[in-house]
Amino acid sequence: MEVAVQTMNGYGSTLELARWCESNGVPALAVADHYLSGPNLDSPAYEQFVVLGGIVRETTTLELSTLVSPITFRHPAVLLKAAVTLDEMSGGRFTLGVGTGWMQSEHDAFGLELFEMGERFDRLEEALAYLTAAVDGGGEGFEGRYYTLQPFVPHPIPARLRLVVGGTGRRRTPALAGRFADEFNVFPDESGWVGRIGTARQAAADTGRDPATLLISAAFPAVAGEDEREYEDTLARVAESRGREVDELRQSLDRLHIPSGTPEQMASRLTAMADAGIQRVYLQLGGSAVDEFARAVRLVRHALG
């Protein structure tokens, strides 16, 4: 199982983390894509496609992705152009993540429309079909209810652009991932990992794709410690940064089958994830201090043996 990281920050912090990843064998850095970075408006949030436009120039091997970009922010044409541009600038190291969007507060603050859930899924499906038609070189175009791409081959044609689909949906999200994406990012869920991964693989097979080529990944908050005491400290810190009660956070980590605790405690849940088919985990941290990521990566690697 690969250990990767997920962050969301301004340029300097993201660059520092990206460089640390490259020199410490972390294969991928994913960025969350939100226009608010916390419950308060005064926490700065950035355009992550622009952040990555710099990061691709200052790294050489690291895989980079948005995990995931809400289709409520940008028209698929804009997602397409940003993605193929990052693909070219990075020499094929970029993966575009798309999802329905969910954070009501950021949509309210910026006057962006958060369509009702059914419409968001319909739009996500159309956006994926649009993006696929645009990059596969066939020039067949796409005509949907919300988005239309005329029949032609847009340039530049990406070298190796990949798509990742992620979200909390239990039915449509895995089905869309299997049908359109190169990577399915499974959200932690009470139902466990197995069912939705099966749905995604079945959808891939139904579309005539090889399910084995679908990368399965999951992202979760890194709440880990060398020993019980360090774990309790980390738990308290993460709870505070997320505005949650310590016990409530502890219970939710258990309920959602998220590896947490000491390496010994994490080991069984990581094994369960690997057994379910998860090939990569993205460790999330509230802040983006490199030493915190370094500690979390070390502990999860230790747990994996």
Which position has the token pair 């990843």? 21
Q: Exposure of 37 by Cβ count < 10 A (0-12 exposed, 13-18 middle, 19+ buried)?
A: middle
Give me the least distance between CB of 49 and other proteins, in Å please. Answer: 6
Q: Exposure of 281 by Cβ count < 10 A (0-12 exposed, 13-18 middle, 19+ buried)?
A: buried
The one among 24, 25, 47, 117 contacting other proteins by CB under 8 A: 47
Question: Residue 277, SS3?
Answer: coil
Does residue 170 belong to the site contacting other proteins (CB under 8 A)?
Answer: no
Give me the least distance between CB of 75 and other proteins, in Å please. Answer: 6
Give me the least distance between CB of 181 and other proteins, in Å please. Answer: 21
As a whole number of angstroms, the distance between CA 262 and CA 274 comes to: 18
Give me the least distance between CB of 115 and other proteins, in Å please. Answer: 14
Neighbour count for residue 150 (Cβ, 10 Å)? 9
Would you say 107 or 269 has its CB closer to other proteins? 107
Question: Residue 121, SS3?
Answer: helix
The one among 2, 19, 27, 54 contacting other proteins by CB under 8 A: 54
Does residue 160 belong to the site contacting other proteins (CB under 8 A)?
Answer: no
Give me the least distance between CB of 38 and other proteins, in Å please. Answer: 10
Angle at 103 between CA 246 and CA 238, to 5 degrees: 20
Does residue 103 belong to the site contacting other proteins (CB under 8 A)?
Answer: no
Contact at 8 Å (CB) between 292 and 285? yes
The one among 4, 5, 49, 178 contacting other proteins by CB under 8 A: 49
As a whole number of angstroms, the distance between CA 281 and CA 284 comes to: 9
Judged by the rule CB under 8 A, the positions of this chain that interact with other proteins are 10-11, 35-36, 41-47, 49-54, 56-58, 73-78, 80-82, 84-86, 88-89, 108-112, 130, 147-150, 152-156
